[in-house]
Amino acid sequence: MSAMMRGNLRMALSNVKGAKWRSVLTMTGVIVGIVAVVTVVGIGEGVKRQVTEQLAHFGKDLITVRPGHPAKDDSLVGMGNTDVIFGMAGVSGLTTHDVDVIQHAGGAKVIAPLGVVAGTVQVGSKTFSNTPILAANHDLPAALNQKVAFGGFWDKDNENAFTAVIGKDAAADLFEENVPLGRTFTFRGQTFVVRGILSGFDSVPFSPTSSFDKAIFIPYQTAATLTHNDANLYTILVKPDDPKNTKDTMSVITRNLRAAHGGQQDFAVLGPEQTMATGSGVVKLLTTWICAVAAISLFIGGVGIMNIMLLSVTERMHEIGVRKAIGATSRQILSQFVLEATVLSVVGGVTGIILSLVVDGLLFAYTDFKPVISWRAIVVATGVSLAVGIIFGVAPAIKAARKDPIEALRHE
């Protein structure tokens, strides 16, 4: 680095320190934009990793049958796209007949329907209205590769029993204890006995499995009796006899269900890769919107830097005249003010990166989000802040460089 460049850098840092609050306000747009970009990229990468880990836990042979048909963008038409693993939406397009169709199609080792049952739970004198009640069959633990931490799941002979298996958080919320085996609750006028507590599910944001720890699972046949066969299925989980036959089993299920639905493709049969692609839709949407906001913030920050630098040129007109009078060239004046604008922007960018790391740490510690620090995003953010300073610092620098030294010396 040349002596002139070092001098300009020292002068730029001195000017930033000399007007701290003005510099901070000027850098706010850059800081906000960088924080938004780095944080949202970290969240997106974290959610993708969490989804991948959860799908790996469930197994690479898990087939998910859901209402709605896949669109070109891998979302599900007719359903909300905020479900990463299974679609727990208010749309009902699957019935017990579909379960029978899949059963008779052959090639399936595990078939586990999941349905939602509306109602409130009563434990003693307390009523709980926000506890999810899910109807399932005895194959659910095998479908999800989920263990029962205490007690056991019901078997095929107890599909009509008034029994329940609950999540670990539901145990604490309803009974205020970790192992409430044998305890009872009332649902739709019937008394259910808790026979098992599931081990904890890996939480993934935007996924209904995040609420499985708070859920109560009851036999599907029992739910059908209580609701007069109105327990809506929102997904059917299937595992083939052999993981190597996953794609073939998906094709058979699709063909048979389409025939059962009168030739209509009003359902989706998804493998693990497709499920991941479907679930990443909300992350992509979030990333797009936040990046748009970040771009606006960076533009506003750049305009702020340009305005402050124009003001600085006006305030330092006499200094510019003195420097030109003692031999400074227009290029040297230009580089000085471009460097000052760049310093402002880069300091704002570095501050934004530090704040984004703090935000990621807080999210990791206190929420279900597990952001992943993306060094690529940090490098890009640094480059963007550098570019903003150079681009928006050029106009004020040109104005300073073109000043006539005599006119500049006359300026008060």
The more confident residue out of 37 and 286 is 37
* Mean pLDDT for the stretch of residues 206-228: 82
Determine the pLDDT at residue 195.
95
| DSSP sequence for 115-150 | EE----EEETTEEESS--EEEE-TTHHHHHT--EEE
Residues in the chain: 412
What tokens does 98 get? Answer: 């579909």
The residue written with tokens 């279900």 in the block is 368
Determine the pLDDT at residue 267.
87
* Mean pLDDT for the stretch of residues 85-114: 77
CB proximity list for 288: less than 8 A, separation 6 or greater: none
The more confident residue out of 237 and 25 is 237
What tokens does 360 get? Answer: 């990621």
Helix axes 3-18 and 20-58, enclosed angle (nearest 10)? 90
Determine the pLDDT at residue 409.
66
Query: Between the CA of residue 81 and those of 56, 77, 220, 291, what are the distances in Å?
Result: 21, 9, 26, 20
pLDDT classification of 80: cutoffs 50, 70, 90: very low
CB atoms within 10 A of CB 139: 19
Is 62 in a helix, a strand, or coil? coil
Query: Between the CA of residue 96 and those of 129, 203, 257, 362, what are the distances in Å?
Result: 26, 29, 12, 44
The residue written with tokens 């890996």 in the block is 202
What's the CA gap between 47 and 39, in Å, rounded?
A: 12
> Are 108 and 231 a contacting pair, CB within 8 Å?
no
Determine the pLDDT at residue 233.
83
pLDDT at 58 over 90: no
Write the pLDDT tens digit of every residue in 156-183: 888 889 999 999 999 999 999 999 999 9
What's the CA gap between 385 and 29, in Å, rounded?
A: 11
> Are 246 and 49 a contacting pair, CB within 8 Å?
no
Type of residue numbered 403: K
What tokens does 67 get? Answer: 């209402």
Segments of 205-322 assigned E as strands: 216-219, 232-240, 267-270
* Mean pLDDT for the stretch of residues 212-236: 86
CB proximity list for 17: less than 8 A, separation 6 or greater: 23
pLDDT at 83 over 70: no
What tokens does 59 get? Answer: 């197994």
Write the pLDDT tens digit of every residue in 249-296: 999 999 999 998 888 888 888 887 776 665 556 667 777 777 787 788
What's the CA gap between 129 and 122, in Å, rounded?
A: 9
Pair type for strands 148-151 and 190-198: antiparallel
Nearest to 98 by CA among 274, 267, 239: 267
What's the CA gap between 82 and 86, in Å, rounded?
A: 10
* Percentage of residues of the chain with pLDDT beyond 70: 83
Determine the pLDDT at residue 343.
84
Determine the pLDDT at residue 2.
62
